[in-house]
């Protein structure tokens, strides 16, 4: 009877996980499992790779992340707008958040009055993006060219990597007339490719509201 009850519990957990993610749906304690692919790290890169692999329904994919849900482990600190400012890069080096962050701190910085500065690195589902305002950016054309030159492989240039960026991201354009006039978004639509469909794992957009200071400190 116990074995049957345990089986029902496993089936119920798997059924729940198939429709919605819960704080306890990441594996079942005490029950071994095997997978075709194991992704280490649940940040933007790891989750994107996992989502791509999982499109093949013939394989199984597991993601291993050191942390849990930041909404649970950090509560209001992660879900109240603007409160993240106090937890962003540059916060007091003594502010520890071990449940959602690796607590890295820089050495003394001459350009910052000798201060040691916290360097936010996410230990949570969502990774560093979840710790840094959920910001999304790509490197510059020049930085990728230098990478290609350093390793002697021109397949690392921006133009060669752009199709992969496009395949990973679905862009939702900013809504016109909602943001401040001095906070107008400028972007190149050609850098994205929504014609691929809505299957790209990363959803990228802009907030409908912007701080006025964003005009001078973008």
Binned average pLDDT, 10 residues per bin, the chain of 218 residues? 44 48 60 90 90 90 89 79 60 72 89 85 88 80 96 96 88 76 77 73 80 66
Q: Indicate the angle between helix axes 141-151 and 158-168, nearest 10 degrees.
A: 120
User: pLDDT at position 149, please?
Assistant: 97
Q: If phi over 0 gives left and psi between -120 and 50 gives alpha, with beta otherwise, what is residue 169?
A: beta
- Residues 214 and 186 sit within 8 Å (Cβ to Cβ): no
Phi/psi at 54 (nearest 5 deg)? -70, -10
Half-sphere exposure of 67 (CA within 13 A, CB side): 25
Query: Cα separation of 135 and 156, whole Å?
Result: 23
| Domains of the chain by residue range | 2-64, 70-131, 154-212
How far from the centroid of its chain's Cα atoms is residue 130's Cα?
6
Query: Cα separation of 170 and 199, whole Å?
Result: 8
Query: Cα separation of 166 and 45, whole Å?
Result: 14
- Residues 89 and 119 sit within 8 Å (Cβ to Cβ): yes
User: pLDDT at position 10, please?
Assistant: 47
pTM of the model: 0.70
Query: Cα separation of 54 and 51, whole Å?
Result: 5
Q: If phi over 0 gives left and psi between -120 and 50 gives alpha, with beta otherwise, what is residue 116?
A: beta
Q: E strands within the chain?
A: 37-40, 61-64, 104-105, 118-119, 169-171, 202-204
Any idea which residue has 């936010």 for tokens?
Answer: 120
User: pLDDT at position 182, please?
Assistant: 67
Partners of 170 in the beta sheet?
203
User: pLDDT at position 137, please?
Assistant: 83
Phi/psi at 203 (nearest 5 deg)? -100, 120
User: pLDDT at position 11, please?
Assistant: 45
Please give the structure tokens belonging to residue 121: 């690195």
Query: Cα separation of 34 and 66, whole Å?
Result: 19
């Amino acid at each position: 009877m116990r074995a049957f009850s345990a089986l029902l519990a496993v089936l119920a957990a798997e059924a729940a996980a198939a429709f919605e993610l819960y704080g306890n749906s990441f594996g079942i304690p005490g029950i071994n499992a095997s997978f075709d692919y194991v992704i280490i790290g649940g940040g933007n890169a790891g989750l994107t790779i996992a989502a791509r692999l999982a499109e093949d329904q013939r394989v199984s994919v597991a993601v291993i992340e050191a942390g849990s849900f930041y909404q649970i482990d950090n509560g209001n600190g992660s879900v109240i707008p603007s409160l993240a400012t106090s937890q962003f890069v540059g916060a007091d080096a003594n502010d520890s958040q071990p449940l959602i962050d690796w607590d890295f701190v820089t050495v003394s910085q001459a350009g910052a009055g000798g201060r040691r500065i916290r360097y936010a690195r996410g230990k949570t589902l969502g990774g560093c993006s979840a710790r840094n305002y959920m910001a999304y950016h790509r490197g510059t054309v020049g930085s990728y060219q230098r990478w290609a030159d350093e390793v002697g492989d021109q397949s690392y240039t921006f133009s060669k990597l752009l199709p992969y960026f496009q395949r990973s991201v679905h862009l939702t354009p900013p809504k016109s007339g909602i943001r401040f006039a001095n906070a107008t978004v400028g972007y190149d639509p050609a850098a994205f490719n929504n014609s691929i469909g809505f299957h790209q794992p990363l959803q990228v957009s802009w907030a409908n509201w912007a701080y006025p200071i964003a005009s001078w400190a973008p």
